Structure 1
């Protein structure tokens, strides 16, 4: 399993708009991408992180040619609340536990 982090700064006064877009638009698309195993959104002050879990690097690479994914990326950029810099990193998961899992 691979975890992918997408991080950016945002206009903290627009947190509700960002949360709404993330949960109503991004979440349904991300959750249905082939190989996706989970999606989390979180923030601290003016920093936003989207954390997704994937079955393989090939599934992550598939996002580059995914029209629905391109649409949600374009939509979040059009909100006008994000900072100029975004960072994406991936990490191999070596173990985890969650209550009820």
Structure 2
């Protein structure tokens, strides 16, 4: 019998196998902070609670998956139009001749 202080942590490979997704999918989502994870020793680790939350977030009626991409882009464009007073945009550095 497990005691209450036993902690189960899955590697990204184990978590990907359990969720039946690619490891790269987990890595991209974790790096973008779109899914819960624990960083331990410089590697992603996942608890059973993390895995349950990832499944919940991936449901069509769940969190981030419910927002349509068109609306996200539109919100970003609207936010980028708001320029603070005194803001001078950066210009790209001229390319060197080869």
Identify the TM-score tier after normalising by the shorter chain. Answer: under 0.3
Give the number of the structure with larger relative contact order, counting CA–CA contacts within 8 Å between residues 6 or more apart: 1
Q: TM-score if structure 1 supplies the norm length?
A: 0.24
Bigger helix share? 2
Q: TM-score if structure 2 supplies the norm length?
A: 0.24
**Structure of higher CA gyration radius:** 2
